[in-house]
Structure 1
């Protein structure tokens, strides 16, 4: 089984996922409708969004903008500090490929529900800025619920926790903070991120039955166990931790 062989792109820079030939996960069947206008859940969403508006222009806002970038190689570095290791195509090729392909499976799993619900994003409601203005056009027409980035970030956190269980708490904390970046950016409501995490977990469970995913997972585990892995800059990681704490 060639875990690092050529893989086609399916458009928009996405590499074909592991679940390409399987029956798609229908997220609208298990993700409930988003909060209704005027409901307690919607009021909680608005309150959470307003509380984070104070972070616009801060270091946390800038980190949220960085978290939004899901193209490679930059996306491979999101969990470096939590892992205590530098993830790269050169040093950890199996893990790098695992993240590339699972991104597609995790993210696309949100679209049945997104398309069904078509919830407006926070910036369309509050009229405030977002941390990635270059994405404004595409975000305006892409449903807010559930959050695709949150499905990816939380799904990756689950995968990495499976690979390095001794780092699970740090990895899962970063995964949770990653989903919060979407709220900081003013592009998702709190319930969008929670629903995205649920979809990411469901797709993660589906991946456990895929032979190529499991083979790549095994190879990635060996890579992370190597004694000569490069480690991230300590000061940079301390700065990241301080910035993430701003949104707690």
Structure 2
């Protein structure tokens, strides 16, 4: 009976859910989760902290390997499939339609919550702060603080690890690396990434309280665990 209910629920959700993350309905916006009140402001451009963070970026720039650069470039993509290396061979888009649509909404939520804070604080990216910085990843000129990639990586990691607690350590290590790769790629400062981790954790906690989230989460979790043979 439970399996029939979940199957019907999955079908209904797929009928309502858009395919592409850019069309997905977010679970929250900046009006419901205001990062301007939840995060401290970024370090000032002329502060000792920003100078130290710039030194870190420049140090990594001369020590990063081609393999590190390749990983940072791959992590420019913002979707849950970047966790495939820890989830196993059955973790595929075509096999998990309800799960995929659910995480499209997770990704859309990050943009809706984080982008207004970026626009308000307008912290320069490392390459905007210093011409010595040569990013190894695609350039972005949006505000640096907080890091959107780190936010969504953390958010996805928290939700995914709740679905598959057996892999929690590996999933959260992957989420951590997702943020570190923004520094390795030379596109973010340390404080941007640290703020992104806080933002992602807060967003996860807030949206998990919503009945709408809980319904879609249950269907996505059931589909994922079945697909992984758990």
User: What is the TM-score with the length of structure 2 in the denominator?
Assistant: 0.84
In the other structure, the counterpart of 2:83 is 79
Aligned equivalent of 2:136, options 115, 131, 135 = 131
Q: How many residues align?
A: 218
Q: Where do 5+ consecutive residues of structure 1 fail to align?
A: 231-248
Aligned equivalent of 1:90, options 87, 94, 97 = 94
Distance 2:126 2:62 in 1: 15
Distance 1:100 1:76 in 2: 8
More helix by share: 2
Partner deviation per Cα, 1:9-54 (whole Å, 9 max, x = no partner): 99x934221236x943111111111112453432331232123213
Distance 1:219 1:85 in 2: 21
Pairing 1:173-184 to 2, within 5 Å after superposition: 173-184=173-184
Aligned equivalent of 1:44, options 37, 44, 52 = 52
Distance 2:178 2:92 in 1: 19
In the alignment, is residue 107 of structure 1 matched against residue 117 of structure 2?
no
Distance 1:121 1:199 in 2: 18
Pairing 1:54-65 to 2, within 5 Å after superposition: 54-55=62-63, 58-65=66-73
In the alignment, is residue 3 of structure 1 matched against residue 13 of structure 2?
yes
Summarize the Cα distance change of 1:14–1:122 in structure 2 as closer, same or farther, 3 Å threshold: farther
* 8 Å Cα contact 2:137/2:187 also seen in 1: no
Aligned equivalent of 2:26, options 10, 17, 21 = 17
* 8 Å Cα contact 1:3/1:212 also seen in 2: no
Q: What RMSD over aligned residues (CA atoms) do the two structures have, in Å?
A: 2.5
* 8 Å Cα contact 1:94/1:217 also seen in 2: no
* 8 Å Cα contact 2:153/2:175 also seen in 1: yes
Summarize the Cα distance change of 1:68–1:189 in structure 2 as closer, same or farther, 3 Å threshold: same
Partner deviation per Cα, 1:190-239 (whole Å, 9 max, x = no partner): 1001111111111111211222321222122222322x649xxxxxxxxx
